[in-house]
Amino acid sequence: MMADDQSGQGPKKKILVIYHSQGGTTQTMAQCFAAGATREESITVVLKKAEDATLEDLLQCHAIGIGSPEYFGTMAGMIKDFFDRTFVAAEEKTIGLPFVIFVCAGNDGRGAIRQIERIAEGYKWKKVQEHLRVVGSPTQKDLDRLAELGQTLAAGVDFGIF
């Protein structure tokens, strides 16, 4: 059940942020993205590891941010696992869901983005912003860009742009 906002105008819109992280870098990126999204006070942000995210989380959100490291030119297996667990039940119920991807890559990151985009296309989700690739360890500038990306997604959802 969604939380009511402070103005008494009903349930808040929700952004789901899922990620996978083994070494902590993508987790830090996801936290920065989520922190940016929470700057929009009328938005609730749900931040979860992909392995803990559920079909219900997906069905209740108004937008999704997906964070993955790139392993051997592909997305993390736990991100794929989330898609595998939710696709059949969510496919027709999440058409048009606004999404954005952020990837941490040791090499390039484009392979992971391409794979996630292809799956999002199967769900018929809507890309609403340019995805963010960070190659190597994120700098403060990268983390600031992630927070801005999260806030922009949240503002777009809040104002009904996305």
| Chain segment 127-156, per-residue pLDDT in tens | 999 999 999 999 999 999 999 999 999 999
Token output for 53: 């995210």
Q: CA of 112: how far to CAs of 39, 73, 80, in Å? A: 28, 6, 10
* Conformational region of residue 72, where left means phi above 0, alpha means psi within -120 to 50, and beta covers everything else: left
| CA pair distance 49, 138, nearest whole angstrom | 19
- Whole-prediction pTM value? 0.92
Q: What DSSP assignment string belongs to 108-156? A: --HHHHHHHHHHHHHHT-EE-S--EEEESSPPHHHHHHHHHHHHHHHHH
Question: Thinking of the domain 13-158, which architecture would CATH place it in?
Answer: 3-Layer(aba) Sandwich (3.40)
Domain boundaries, the chain: 13-158
| Chain segment 9-46, per-residue pLDDT in tens | 567 999 999 999 999 999 999 999 999 999 999 999 99
